[in-house]
Structure 1
Amino acid sequence: KSLLFLAKASWRVKNLQQSVKIARQTNKHLHICGGGSKFFGWHPLIHNHGMVGGQEKLDYMRQCDALLFAVRWHEPFGLAIIEAMTQGLPVFGSSFGSLPDLIAPGTGRTFYSHEEIIEYFNTTKDVYDRDFIRDYAIKNFSMERFTSDFIEKYEIVMSGKKLNDVEPEWIHPFRAGKRLPF
């Protein structure tokens, strides 16, 4: 089994350090695809590929079994999650920001701590349907879907109506970019 880390590895909120620990403690290979990785230690389970794109990135996504997305901040969207899902990868990540909204039942899971992920990987043998995950991503996050949804919202605003009955507000007691304990 192998996991994929797909993020700007040098950005500490993307949590490469904890992802490496999760891989080592669950005896899973971790393929790091992202620029600026400060992980230079050698370990037989850890494979640092640096910044990759195009077909090379697709090849790494297709050879891995899941995306590990253990971010330590309120991730506003997580494009890497959608990229991985379009290749049928289940996503396992933290419960911050948009992740609980993006990772639906049958497409992966969110967790409140890295210990929960480790326990899950070490004790659960869940099987995910890659076709279901791919179909979910295409249905919910395709350019066509985003375009039609945005046009619908613009038409509402242009007609003078509000999108929300109540003004949206930030409900957390700290800034969005603050690193969280994970």
Structure 2
Amino acid sequence: MKVLIVYNGIIPTPLYGGTSRVIWYLGNELVKMGHSVSYLVNRGSSCPFADVKTIDTTRPIVDQIGDDVDLVHFNMLVPDVEKLKQPYVITMHGNGSKDVKLPLNMIFVSKNHAHRYASESYVNNGLDWDDYRKPDLSKSRSYFHFLGKAAWKVKNVKGAINIIKSTKSEQLKVLGGTRLNFKMGFRFTTSRRVSFHGMVGGEEKYELLNGSKGLIFPVRWHEPFGLAITESLYYGCPVFGTPYGALPDLVSNEVGFLSNKQDELVEAINNADQFSVKACHELALEKYNSKTMALSYLEKYEQVLNGTSLNDKAPYQESAPVKTLLNWE
């Protein structure tokens, strides 16, 4: 099968870039399975296992799709996609596109993500764990971590900091933020039990995750998926977060605890050693890997190629009457 993967971003990702990493690993797995893969992405991209074409920003994307592909996999909404001659699917990676009927061949990234659009069509994100440093599950762990864009209020780094401050002596390492932030309202963290490491990647991130007792992730929005969760699980870290979005899909009682109440999360963190480092690692390794993801996408591709839509009716979600952060106590 000849698959064209389209995304208005750069591959490989310069540092973090969740969507870029997911489509990179998807393409690599498809090539390993004997399929032909090409990318249509932004200028500055390169790839050793697939042809790369650059998006021409002066022309409609649908006019840039050649005739030499069997299926097009878009990773963003594209105007006039219904005009495309080739079969296609679209993966929605975020929480946008409300109050609009989405194309029938839409794929979401978690069960909850799909259900919020009245859909059953989803494929969980997977990562190529061979591309990560193998964790040392016997390593001593001395702190907790937060992983995400701390400047986004929905990620609730304030909540994570307050959780740590409410424990007797636990420490928090914030991966993805700085001590002083003006971007989303003024925040300055004075606690010496909280350290900030900015946007980290590669060996530095792997080392930090491998020394952590667990991920503190009290998000105040419906997380579409959460690569921070599966990466943390891979390094043996249980997850302590809120029961929103995909978190209940990903975090069972065996690998973490979910609540929107700070005092309950503090209590769970105080008993973090009850969770098995090995169980966390094995869940990510076996369930959230790139091969499993690619096989699931292939099922969607075959369905579309056989002339069957992925959704019976157009996925749709109304905006909330008032845009507010989800409850946090």
TM-score with structure 2 setting the length: 0.50
Alpha-carbon distance in structure 2 between the residues aligned to 1:125 and 1:134: 15
Aligned residue-pair number: 180
Q: Gaps (5+ residues) in structure 2? A: 1-141, 182-186
Q: Secondary structure at the match of 1:67?
A: strand
Whether 1:32 and 2:174 are equivalent positions in the alignment is yes
Higher relative helix content: 1
Judged with a 3 Å threshold, the aligned counterparts in structure 2 of structure 1 residues 160 and 36 are, in CA distance, closer, same or farther, namely farther
Judged with a 3 Å threshold, the aligned counterparts in structure 2 of structure 1 residues 168 and 139 are, in CA distance, closer, same or farther, namely farther
Among candidates 300, 310, 316, match of residue 153 of structure 1? 300
Letter of the 1:30 partner, please give it: L
Among candidates 132, 141, 144, match of residue 3 of structure 1? 144
RMSD: 2.4
Alpha-carbon distance in structure 2 between the residues aligned to 1:138 and 1:165: 33
Mapping for residues 32-181 of structure 1, pairs under 5 Å = 32-36=174-178, 38=181, 39-122=187-270, 124=271, 126-164=273-311, 168-170=315-317, 174=320, 178-181=324-327
CA deviation profile, 1:133-176 (whole Å, cap 9, x unmatched)? 11111211101010001101221222123445676554x8728x
- Deviation larger for 148-157 or 32-41: 32-41
Q: Secondary structure at the match of 1:120?
A: helix
Alpha-carbon distance in structure 2 between the residues aligned to 1:51 and 1:3: 17
Alpha-carbon distance in structure 2 between the residues aligned to 1:167 and 1:51: 37
- Contact map agreement 2:159 2:218 (CA 8 A) in 1: yes
Q: Secondary structure at the match of 1:139?
A: helix
Alpha-carbon distance in structure 2 between the residues aligned to 1:163 and 1:133: 32
Which has the higher Rg, Structure 1 or Structure 2? 2
| Aligned-pair identity (%) | 35
CA deviation profile, 1:69-112 (whole Å, cap 9, x unmatched)? 11000010111101111111111110111110011231112113
Letter of the 2:143 partner, please give it: S
TM-score with structure 1 setting the length: 0.87
Alpha-carbon distance in structure 2 between the residues aligned to 1:163 and 1:61: 37
The offset of 1:126, in angstroms, is 4.9
- Contact map agreement 1:8 1:36 (CA 8 A) in 2: no
Q: Gaps (5+ residues) in structure 1? A: none
Whether 1:14 and 2:155 are equivalent positions in the alignment is yes
Alpha-carbon distance in structure 1 between the residues aligned to 2:238 and 2:276: 8
The offset of 1:2, in angstroms, is 1.8
Alpha-carbon distance in structure 1 between the residues aligned to 2:299 and 2:234: 24
Letter of the 2:204 partner, please give it: E
